[in-house]
């Protein structure tokens, strides 16, 4: 079977070596005579998996013992609410930067908990950039932002300056490059982009914030509940955590510095072609373009029927997942960690052929 170049926005491509090891675990985990899928989450075998996954997160991000790492269920969409509950302080007031659909949903969920205030937004320009000018007063309990915006293709390339505790939804770009994780009080991320399959959500929280919220938090939404039980308060998503652990091993082996350099090379290759090719144009401000999700459309004046023509050419070249999000149309090339540079080159080759055929 011909190689499929997987540009899916998520669930996304993962390293092939991870698939091979994970498939064996489904049949027989560590020669225990049991599938991982039927093994108790409290068995010594799986407890070792959870311990290693948590330790790898700390090691890769260079975090000290003042941070707690948890693998929970619910996805980042639940994290919008969990973060607001656990970060609420005496002022019951959170600052939010709206840079896309998911950031806006986080703001909406924050309003269930306290006074969630939008301090900056790029919505008037269809989320095509990252807001640069805004103020966050000392009366806010925290500042929340989304580091990468999958639908509109923008990304923060520096951690925002903040004089209040910092919260970040890193679902779609965690582990894509080196970052100073010590600047954050709370990070959360759905696994299904750079870290594993859908079903697990990573939370990284300063221990000092756990249990100190002014909100009356339901038990399952209280991060202290899960920290105290080492992510085992209820049955964790066993397989998703195991695959995430395998991916974290791969990330450690490759190194975040090298992963970041490769991701930059992939992005440069594709964006250079978008800018050169007269058939296409990018939709995000150049200084804010995402390394993970390159969004582009047909150039002005071209017949929209050519959209399907381009997608058909991509399909013939075994390129999958390039259709843009249903809310914005156009094209979206998601270039997560495990996508090889060769796949990006295959897409660039089709773009050149498309230009030659229809220009």
Do 152 and 100 form a contact (C-beta atoms < 8 A)? yes
- Rounded to whole angstroms, the Cα distance separating 325 from 332 reads 7
A 10 A CB-CB count for 314 gives 23
The strand pair at 67-72 and 201-206 is best described as antiparallel
Task: State the catalytic residue, choosing from 93, 102, 141, 224.
Answer: 102
A 10 A CB-CB count for 272 gives 11
Task: State the catalytic residue, choosing from 141, 169, 185, 288.
Answer: 169
A 10 A CB-CB count for 340 gives 15
Quick one: angle between helices 16-27 and 238-254, nearest 10? 140
Q: Is 169 a catalytic residue?
A: yes
Q: Is 102 a catalytic residue?
A: yes
Q: How far is CA 183 from CA 122, 161, 200, 215, in A?
A: 24, 9, 24, 24
- Rounded to whole angstroms, the Cα distance separating 231 from 71 reads 6
Q: Is 250 a catalytic residue?
A: no
- Rounded to whole angstroms, the Cα distance separating 84 from 141 reads 10
CA neighbours closer than 13 Å in the CB half-sphere of residue 345: 4
- Best CA proximity match to 246, nearest among 76, 26, 39, 20: 20
Task: State the catalytic residue, choosing from 93, 141, 185, 193.
Answer: 193
Return the SS3 of 278.
coil
Show which residues are catalytic. 102, 169, 193
């Amino acid at each position: 079977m011909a190689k499929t170049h997987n540009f899916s926005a998520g669930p996304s491509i993962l390293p092939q070596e991870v698939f091979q090891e994970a498939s064996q675990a489904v049949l027989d985990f560590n020669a225990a005579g049991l599938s991982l899928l039927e093994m108790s989450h409290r068995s010594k075998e799986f407890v070792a998996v959870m311990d290693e996954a948590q330790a790898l997160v700390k090691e890769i991000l260079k975090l000290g013992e003042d941070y707690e790492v948890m693998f929970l269920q619910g996805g980042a969409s639940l994290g919008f609410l969990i973060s607001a509950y656990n970060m609420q302080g005496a002022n019951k007031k959170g600052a939010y930067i709206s840079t896309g659909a998911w950031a806006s949903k986080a703001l909406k969920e924050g309003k269930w908990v306290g006074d969630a205030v939008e301090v900056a937004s790029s919505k008037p320009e269809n989320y095509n950039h990252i807001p640069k000018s805004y103020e966050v007063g000392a009366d806010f309990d925290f500042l929340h932002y989304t580091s990468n915006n999958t639908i509109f293709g923008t990304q923060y390339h520096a951690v925002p300056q903040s004089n209040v505790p910092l919260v970040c939804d890193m679902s779609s770009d965690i582990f894509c490059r080196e970052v100073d994780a010590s600047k954050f009080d709370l990070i959360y991320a759905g696994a299904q982009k750079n870290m594993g399959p859908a079903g697990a959500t990573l939370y990284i929280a300063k221990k000092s914030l756990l249990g100190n919220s002014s909100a009356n938090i339901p038990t399952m939404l209280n991060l202290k509940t899960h920290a105290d039980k080492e992510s085992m308060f209820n049955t964790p998503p066993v397989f998703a955590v195991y695959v995430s652990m395998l991916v974290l091993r791969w990330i450690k082996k490759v190194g975040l510095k090298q992963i970041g350099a490769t991701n930059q090379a992939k992005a440069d290759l594709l964006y250079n072609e978008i800018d050169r090719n007269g058939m296409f144009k990018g939709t995000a401000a150049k200084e804010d373009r995402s390394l993970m999700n390159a969004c582009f459309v047909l150039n002005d004046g071209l017949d929209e029927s050519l959209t399907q023509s381009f997608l058909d050419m991509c399909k013939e070249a075994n390129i999958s997942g390039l259709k843009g999000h249903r809310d914005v149309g156009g094209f979206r090339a998601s270039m997560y960690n495990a996508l090889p540079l060769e796949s990006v080159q295959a897409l660039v080759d089709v773009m050149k052929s498309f230009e030659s055929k229809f220009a």
